[in-house]
Amino acid sequence: MAIKLRQLLICLLINWAVAAALFAFSDKTEAELKSAIKNEYTKEYPQIAIVSIKVQEGSKENVSGYRFSAIEMQRQNLSKNSGVVLAIFVNEKNETKRVFVRYEIEALLEVLKAKHNLQKDKILSQEDVNIENIALKNIFFKPLTKDELGSVSTRRFISVGTVITQKDASKPPAIRKNSLIYAVIRQDSIEIEMEVRALEDGDINDTINVRAKNGKNLKAFVASKERVEIR
């Protein structure tokens, strides 16, 4: 009885080893999968430093005779350090197989932390932040990068030590609400210029509401940071 049980266990182990070898990715395919996953994270986070990537075939699909073509990754995957991607394989007859692949990535992400309390509408500079590396795990909002310093301003109050994300800071509008600007009205070949007050924020090529000195509200096209056109 003991001998039969031992033989059965040996057969099971052999079958498992054969199945694992049959469905396991080749070294070349595994390297291509890792490279494709790395490219997706690098495109999303140029400042990322990837330490390692592990991949595991999740659907036990035999892809022998097929070559790796591409992956499909949902955007929300990029906020985490693990997930599932859909790998596409193609054979010589141009037939495809789509295989679910589990992966786990170990990486460090360069982030900016507020060096001190930052008030709303503060244009950020290097003096306002500390640059640190944190483990990529759950990133709810894309972190701001050091390349954006000097061109973005805070959208809210940010307390010291907070990781600054693109939700917290953005490029300031060309025209700010309540600012006084010059508006141009064109009539035939005549240009009339007058001072108006912006009633809302606006970027270049936006149409915003402005108010003339006589109290009349007008629609204006934002031509530059200092000038709008009444149309």
29 lies in the same domain as 102: yes
59 lies in the same domain as 123: no
Angstrom distance (rounded) from CA 228 to CA 185: 9
Look at residue 19 in the predicted model and tell me its pLDDT. Answer: 39
Asked, for residue 18, whether it belongs to a domain, the answer is no
Look at residue 20 in the predicted model and tell me its pLDDT. Answer: 40
Look at residue 1 in the predicted model and tell me its pLDDT. Answer: 53
Q: What is the DSSP string of 138-175?
A: B-SSPBP-GGGTTT-EESS-B-TTPBPBTTTEEPPPSB
Asked, for residue 2, whether it belongs to a domain, the answer is no
214 lies in the same domain as 166: no
Q: Any idea what the CATH number is for the domain that residue 119 is in?
A: 3.90.1210.10
59 lies in the same domain as 99: yes
Q: Residue 226: phi, psi to the nearest 5?
A: -115, -5
Asked, for residue 9, whether it belongs to a domain, the answer is no
Angstrom distance (rounded) from CA 55 to CA 84: 9
CA distances from 219 to 166, 186, 211, 212 (A): 30, 14, 9, 11
Q: Which residues lie closer than 8 Å to 82 by C-beta, 6 or more apart?
A: 102, 103, 104, 105
Tally of domains within the chain: 3
Bridge-based pairing state of the strands 207-212 and 180-187: unpaired
164 lies in the same domain as 184: no
Question: Which domain range does residue 119 map to?
Answer: 110-132+140-170
CA distances from 171 to 4, 94, 153, 155, 201 (A): 74, 46, 6, 9, 12
99 lies in the same domain as 37: yes
32 lies in the same domain as 93: yes
Asked, for residue 175, whether it belongs to a domain, the answer is no
Asked, for residue 117, whether it belongs to a domain, the answer is yes
189 lies in the same domain as 225: yes
Look at residue 17 in the predicted model and tell me its pLDDT. Answer: 37
Asked, for residue 69, whether it belongs to a domain, the answer is yes
195 lies in the same domain as 163: no
Query: Which residue ranges in the chain fall short of pLDDT 50?
Result: 5, 7-23
% of the chain exceeding 70 in pLDDT: 89
211 lies in the same domain as 147: no
57 lies in the same domain as 68: yes
Q: Any idea what the CATH number is for the domain that residue 220 is in?
A: 2.30.30.760
The answer, as to whether pTM is greater than 0.85, is no
